[in-house]
Structure 1
Amino acid sequence: MQMEQEQAVKELDERMKKEKSRRMFERYQTIHLYLQGMTTKQIAGIIKRNEKTVNAYVRAYQEHGLEGLQMNHSPGAPARLTQQQQEQFKQTIVEKLPHEVGFTAKFSWTLHLMGEYIQREFDVTYSLQGVANVAHRLNLSYTMPTYTLAAADETKQQAFRENTFPELKKLESGEIDHLLFEDESMIRDCQALQYTWFLKGKQRIIQTTGKHRGVKLLATLNYETGDILWKEDEQYTAETFLDFLQGVLNAYPTGKIVVVLDNARIHHAKLLQPFLDKNKERLELIFLPPYSPELNLVEGLWKWLKADVINNVFYHTVAEIRENVTLFMNRIRENKQEIIDRLCLRLEDDSVLAEFL
């Protein structure tokens, strides 16, 4: 008996030296300490687990030997929901809202509602922590939803990704010299709040007047070079946009320019037509599918700007906003490669645009 125990300790030593899994190392360590005569309480203190867990490891070892400690031989209690029940539960959470399965006027899943659903459907009762454990095992997580524009036409978006954009990349063969994305954005004095580091249990306080002052920006992003052309204006009008297009021509004095942009009213104004006709050999506008901001690379520029100098900041004057916007633009334009890597990701497959943003 003594020899068997010594042999088991020796084998545990070898396994612990080679083991890369923290959980398996913990199980081997438990039995190693157990065979050395330590009590359950002592072992629990060393591995930072409760005595129930230690007893489960020891029981698994006593019944199945060292192989009983393997992950596929869990010492814990068997699952209380069958595989079929787990799959039904998961599909319900992913595909249905609570009110669609009998919870009147409930539109968001909570642990409490999930527990009620399990009890009602399968006659199994879990604590809230138990429901959370089941959810995590099924790869469910407590996350914030995101918006998508209901009016967006997925067919047209797909056509842009697979057909229009690859055609626009003719700049690689010299048919197009400059491929630009264009957009506008209003940068306000108190744009939004975002997560930041601060004292535990406290919140950083951001002042605000409750007013909505800001600056209006227009910008183009050169897909190939990462060059950014931008200007601030007091308003968004056809005249403003026309003046900006003239600035684009001035910035690119030679070569064919294609500008990809959204369907804002000012982009379709009749006022633009004489200018576009006059410069049709040099300048062409390509419109994105309606309600498709995710396809415009300049959206990533606005997000970057707001995250760096607008969110979590209160500006007392519009002049302060202008100053920091200018500093931001000047800073990022010093490193074109960073702009390309962050906003103009070159694609292995011309038919895919989804990874741009």
Structure 2
Amino acid sequence: MFSILQTSYTKLLEEANLSYKKTHKENSAKDEVKVEAKKKEIKDLIDKEREQIESGEVMYWMQDESHQLWGDICGYVWSKKGERTSIKMSNYRTSQTWYGAVNIYTGEFILDRAKKADTKYTIDFINWLIYRYKEARHVIIWDGASYHHSEGLRTYLEKLNGGLPESEWKVR
């Protein structure tokens, strides 16, 4: 069996400018052309409504959901040699979903708990946002999650905006 001291391979990795790290996911279906077109569309909208954004009449939000899994707490830690570091939990698959949004003009960050991420909880989040900022109209910039463009959400927004011209919609 081949054996090498920990310090030896660590030194070799450092000299090769390599480090030990956790990998991250990357969306292989990402279409850069579509991404750039969407960025331009958003920038044009913001430029068009700059005065209303600055006055607070219109609020632009970047919104997303996050799923905090209890098991994610287990990972790499520093601890004494020869001692196991344990974290007690009843179910490592237990999770908490969070809906969050950042106001692109003020930088304000808002956060709300949800049981899960779906059309119902997306609508609940929008209602909460409207309740917090009653006088403003809201533009929500979100990712391509199916519940962000579901039939249920479209129906809700049609009722909410009640046939008004797009420039007067409460949420878009």
Q: Distance in 2 between matches of 1:157 and 1:201?
A: 49
Q: Distance in 1 between matches of 2:116 and 2:44?
A: 33
Asked if the contact 2:70–2:91 (Cα under 8 Å) also holds between the matched residues in 1, the reply is: no
Q: Distance in 2 between matches of 1:160 and 1:229?
A: 24
Q: Distance in 2 between matches of 1:239 and 1:172?
A: 29
Classify the secondary structure of the residue corresponding to 1:258. Answer: strand
| Pairing partner for 1:151 from 21, 24, 29 | 29
Cα distance change, pair 172–238 in 1 and its aligned pair in 2 (3 A):
closer
Cα distance change, pair 244–171 in 1 and its aligned pair in 2 (3 A):
farther
| Pairing partner for 2:103 from 206, 215, 222 | 222
Cα distance change, pair 226–195 in 1 and its aligned pair in 2 (3 A):
farther
Classify the secondary structure of the residue corresponding to 2:113. Answer: strand
Residue 254 (str. 1) matches residue 135 (str. 2): yes
Residue 282 (str. 1) matches residue 159 (str. 2): no
Asked if the contact 2:69–2:92 (Cα under 8 Å) also holds between the matched residues in 1, the reply is: no
Asked if the contact 1:168–1:179 (Cα under 8 Å) also holds between the matched residues in 2, the reply is: no
- How far the C-alpha of 1:164 sits from its partner, in A, is 3.3
Q: Distance in 1 between matches of 2:145 and 2:28?
A: 17
- How far the C-alpha of 1:202 sits from its partner, in A, is 4.3
Describe the superposition over 1:175-194 as per-residue Cα deviations: whole angstroms up to 9, x where unpaired.
44311111122222322334
| Pairing partner for 2:43 from 162, 166, 169 | 166
Classify the secondary structure of the residue corresponding to 2:147. Answer: helix
Residue 141 (str. 1) matches residue 18 (str. 2): yes
Classify the secondary structure of the residue corresponding to 1:215. Answer: strand
Q: Distance in 1 between matches of 2:88 and 2:27?
A: 32
Aligned ranges 1:192-231 → 2 under 5 Å: 192-200=73-81, 202-231=83-112
- How far the C-alpha of 1:232 sits from its partner, in A, is 2.0
Alignment partner, residue 132 of structure 1: 12
Aligned ranges 1:339-354 → 2 under 5 Å: none
Q: Distance in 2 between matches of 1:243 and 1:267?
A: 12
Classify the secondary structure of the residue corresponding to 2:124. Answer: helix
Gaps of 5+ in 1: 1-127, 285-357
User: Percent identical across equivalent pairs?
Assistant: 20
Alignment partner, residue 4 of structure 2: none
Alignment partner, residue 33 of structure 1: none
- How far the C-alpha of 1:275 sits from its partner, in A, is 3.1
Aligned ranges 1:68-107 → 2 under 5 Å: none
Larger Rg, first or second structure (1 or 2): 1
Specify the code of the residue in structure 1 equivalent to 2:119.
A
- Calculate the aligned-residue CA RMSD, in Å: 3.2
Aligned ranges 1:251-330 → 2 under 5 Å: 251-277=132-158, 278-279=160-161, 280=166, 281-284=169-172
- How far the C-alpha of 1:241 sits from its partner, in A, is 1.6
Cα distance change, pair 219–171 in 1 and its aligned pair in 2 (3 A):
farther
- Between Structure 1 and Structure 2, the one with more helix by share is 1
- Between Structure 1 and Structure 2, the one with more strand by share is 2
Cα distance change, pair 211–146 in 1 and its aligned pair in 2 (3 A):
closer
* Larger RCO (CA under 8 A, 6+ residues apart): 2
Cα distance change, pair 158–195 in 1 and its aligned pair in 2 (3 A):
farther
- How far the C-alpha of 1:151 sits from its partner, in A, is 1.2
Specify the code of the residue in structure 1 equivalent to 2:170.
R
Alignment partner, residue 121 of structure 1: none
Asked if the contact 1:171–1:178 (Cα under 8 Å) also holds between the matched residues in 2, the reply is: no
